Structure 1
Amino acid sequence: MRLFGYARVSTSQQSLDIQIRALKDTGVKANRIFTDKVSGSTVDTEGLDLLRMKVEEGDVILVKKLDRLGRDTADMVQLIKEFDAQGVAVRFIDDGIITDGEMGKMVITILSAVAQAERQRILERTNEGRQEAKLKGIRFGRRCSIDRNSVLELHRQGTGATEIARQLSIARSTVYKVIDESKQKPSACKWGLKPNRTISIIIEHANF
């Protein structure tokens, strides 16, 4: 059995020293300690990737605390399951938890349930936020492109800017902008059609 260690910090202000010291005190050799830390806005996982390549069946990975192994509970559970499939146990020093044997299976089951609960809670919060935003009139989804031709056609028919904006679901200021631009210079597209609309017309008249 070989002992490996893993340490990770999640902010640039944190230090790896305390975790590394704890791993060494538990018997992990310095050349078998792998570390990761944040780099700007991203997390460098080179250390974890190397650890995954090095460990073999019967090895034990030591980590100071539960939250140091993965970015979140779901990530941690996935890693524990991956190591378990290789016959590698993970021991969390401060928490007194090891993932092998019957107790280990129970730990994985509990952590999996926690991860599922976290995902559900995030989903509920996201949905609540979207509902609240909708009540405030905030729209979601990709912003629709402006059909300049429709704006100008409605304008030629005598439709007012407010009504055009309502019918096309765009801002009234956008209506004025399209109308003003049409008076100043020709449209970039000769027939005022959007590319997708042009393709549709070609296909329609070609009887495809």
Structure 2
Amino acid sequence: MDLAYCRVSTTAQDLARQIDAMHAAAVAEEHIYVDKRTGANMDREGLTALLAFARPGDRINVLTLDRLGRNMRETLNLVHDLTERGIFLRTLGDKLTVDTSDPGPGTDMAIALLAMFAQMERIYMLERAAGARAAKQARGLPTGRPVKLNATTRAGAAQRIKDGAIPEQVAADLGISRSTLYRELRKHREGTIANQCEKGS
């Protein structure tokens, strides 16, 4: 059976291109597992569900190997574990083709190189971010994360949830994570309480 895994790093990013590639590869919609989480670690709901479902003889399709993860050791360990379980892995969009149903030195080398490139890119990304923060500090500019929602948007999100909306859907509509939504809702409650106290004094 062909299965698929698609991942983007944040809730604001779009999975459509990856999912379209899986449809083109004839993977059934119900067998496509997705995550909107960083690839820096392997603790992801969609990936966990996929690994629990997969059986010997199944094949997991990803667009590129870095969708599995950007930590070289954990990615290689995952590929090894899949091989031990008799589960195959295929990439659809990498320049170096990976298909573990056709094992050999070339496949092993492609996996190792792609995993190394993914980790190097993550290291460079972190270095660029650190450089940007340092440049802002040198100019006296703020370096923290920008405010996700303003007071009006927080109030609207709070009202939607009060009216019965699912928090995960509200977060997705706003392009933020569920944990960020909860932090913003807490700010809204604290602001509401503060305003009531001021009016009462």
TM-score (norm 2): 0.50
Which is greater in Rg? Answer: 1
Higher relative contact order (CA 8 A, sep 6+): 2
